[in-house]
Structure 1
Amino acid sequence: MADEPEFRRVRGTGWKSVYDTLRMEILDLTLKPGQLLDETTLAERFDMSRSPVREALIRLAGEELVITLSNRSTIVAPIEVGTFPKYVEALDLAQRMNTRLAAVFRTPADLKTIARRQKEFEAAVKTGVHLKMSETNKQFHMAVAHAGRNPYLASFYERLLNQGQRMLHLHFEYLERAEGGYLLTEEHDQMLKAIEARDADLADELAHAHTRQFQDQFIGFLRENYSSDIALSPQRAAE
């Protein structure tokens, strides 16, 4: 079909090469939500047996990037529009708590790491490459989380950030078209300053505003594109 993505033939060295390639293609939406991932076709593409392909798919399933259906076929995980409000609710709590803790427990070394991650995000924004932008955005927020010194909260937060990367790409696309949209770099700077000042209340407030900004802009994307041919889950987004 004319609208199907074309993939170059890749010769891999094991499951890791399959995993890395498929993960990148899922996150940057080259592989569309709901798209079938056939083991035989993938094995041919990567020029290897089905066993490493199966291992890669199992690991991607562990990150909730692919889903195995009842008939044992595997598809790229849908983007669940209907559960977006619940996702944002969890993201908001995790983001606020990790940022608050960072303001309390951060060290000078943590501040340097957070600042470096922010510069990397700013550099990625200038490239316009959405995968680089989402990955460096994640690394900024995880640097904040690690500064909070609670590995359980940081792990939960990382899982949420991973699950939200494809939504973030759609969010980036919307901002590129929307008048007055911006890419959150100023908010990152403000959060860093609050953490540096050990102002936990301000850090919490900024983290909450950061989540709300993402929520509002993603809902704007849904309103603009919900009836388009982008393969989203058929559930309706909550108002």
Structure 2
Amino acid sequence: MTSLPSGRRAAKSSGPLSAAASRRVERPAPLRQAVYDALLELIVNRTLAPGQHLVEAELAEYLGVSRQPVREALQRLQTDGWVDLRPAQGAFVHTPTEEEADQLLAVRSVLETYSAKLAAEHATATDVKQLKKLQKAGEDALVAADVDRLVEANANLHAAVAAIGRNKVLSEMIGLVDRRVRWYYTPIARPRSRDSWNEHAELIAAIADGDGERAGEVMHRHAEQTRQTYHDRKTTESN
């Protein structure tokens, strides 16, 4: 922990920090963070499904750790909205509501529409080549009917578009919603399949042409179609 300058240390007993003089900033333990990341990834890829009961002892055994870091991770996952802790029942993977999904996918649509416009304005030949490589990875996953690879390829391509736009703040904001987008996208990766990757190809063509307006329109339509497919799936499941 970084110390206060010596002059400040001498005066702190009479200053506003006196009430918290014995407190220290605790750096997160690597194991605690590793357990959190592992559980979050299991939730995002739906190995741990929405609504599933999470038993500390089982998770600890699966991850090869004690129950304490698992308990701490579950508490943090609740704070972050991934887990519900129910009194006298335990922990459960959060089940997203229609409203939550709609709000997130709507925000994603706005951010990535602008991201696509910027990408078209800044893309180099090397950038376009990289996008086409990522597109090929997605098409290969589609042929193999590999959902995990489809989800990964989709996330990689969208992240690349954001990076090409050269707007660091926008890229960071898109990154913040990426895991939840993956969470929602996983069950519809196969239904969207061919349409989604055709839309990606159209987007890459617009970026390669430097056509920001067209790139934005394609991305907006693409994001809204994903949003609609998610809602259609939820409606079908509830009937």
TM-score normalised by length of structure 2: 0.75
* SS in structure 1 at match of 2:107: helix
Q: Deviations over 1:94-114 (max 9, x none)?
A: 110111111112223322222
Q: 2:39, 2:116 → 1: CA distance?
A: 31
Hey, what does 1:178 align to over in structure 2? none
Q: Which has the higher contact order (CA 8 A, sep 6+)?
A: 1
Deviation at 1:70, TM superposition (A): 6.8
Within the candidate set 226, 229, 239, 1:217 is matched to 229
Hey, what does 1:131 align to over in structure 2? 148
Hey, what does 1:189 align to over in structure 2? 201
Q: 1:121, 1:195 → 2: CA distance?
A: 18
Q: 1:59, 1:120 → 2: CA distance?
A: 34
Deviation at 1:160, TM superposition (A): 2.2
Hey, what does 1:104 align to over in structure 2? 121
Deviation at 1:21, TM superposition (A): 4.8
Provide closer, same or farther for how the CA distance between residues 220 and 153 of structure 1 changes in structure 2, counting only shifts above 3 A. same
Q: 1:105, 1:63 → 2: CA distance?
A: 34
Q: 2:80, 2:125 → 1: CA distance?
A: 32
Deviation at 1:118, TM superposition (A): 1.4
Hey, what does 2:133 align to over in structure 1? 116
Q: Deviations over 1:14-42 (max 9, x none)?
A: 55764565344323323121223232332
Query: Does structure 2 conserve the Cα–Cα contact (< 8 Å) formed by 1:102 and 1:144?
Result: yes
Q: 2:86, 2:162 → 1: CA distance?
A: 34
Deviation at 1:141, TM superposition (A): 0.4
Deviation at 1:91, TM superposition (A): 1.2
Look up the equivalent residue of 2:187 and give its one-letter code: L
Please tell me whether residue 140 in structure 1 is matched to residue 152 in structure 2.
Answer: no
Query: Does structure 2 conserve the Cα–Cα contact (< 8 Å) formed by 1:174 and 1:221?
Result: no
Q: 2:80, 2:128 → 1: CA distance?
A: 29
Look up the equivalent residue of 1:86 and give its one-letter code: Q
| More displaced 10-residue stretch of structure 1: 64-73 or 118-127 | 64-73
Query: Does structure 2 conserve the Cα–Cα contact (< 8 Å) formed by 1:28 and 1:130?
Result: no
**Percent identity at matched positions?**
27
Provide closer, same or farther for how the CA distance between residues 83 and 18 of structure 1 changes in structure 2, counting only shifts above 3 A. closer
Q: 1:20, 1:129 → 2: CA distance?
A: 23
Please tell me whether residue 84 in structure 1 is matched to residue 101 in structure 2.
Answer: yes
Query: Does structure 2 conserve the Cα–Cα contact (< 8 Å) formed by 1:65 and 1:163?
Result: no
Provide closer, same or farther for how the CA distance between residues 136 and 55 of structure 1 changes in structure 2, counting only shifts above 3 A. farther
Within the candidate set 158, 163, 181, 2:175 is matched to 158
Deviation at 1:184, TM superposition (A): 0.9
Q: 2:80, 2:150 → 1: CA distance?
A: 20
Query: Does structure 2 conserve the Cα–Cα contact (< 8 Å) formed by 1:68 and 1:75?
Result: yes
**Structure 2 stretches of 5 or more lacking a match?**
1-29
Q: CA RMSD in A?
A: 2.8
Greater C-alpha radius of gyration: 2
Query: Does structure 2 conserve the Cα–Cα contact (< 8 Å) formed by 1:27 and 1:131?
Result: no
Query: Does structure 2 conserve the Cα–Cα contact (< 8 Å) formed by 1:142 and 1:158?
Result: yes
**Aligned residue pair count:** 210
Hey, what does 2:211 align to over in structure 1? 199
**Structure 1 stretches of 5 or more lacking a match?**
1-12, 176-180, 228-239
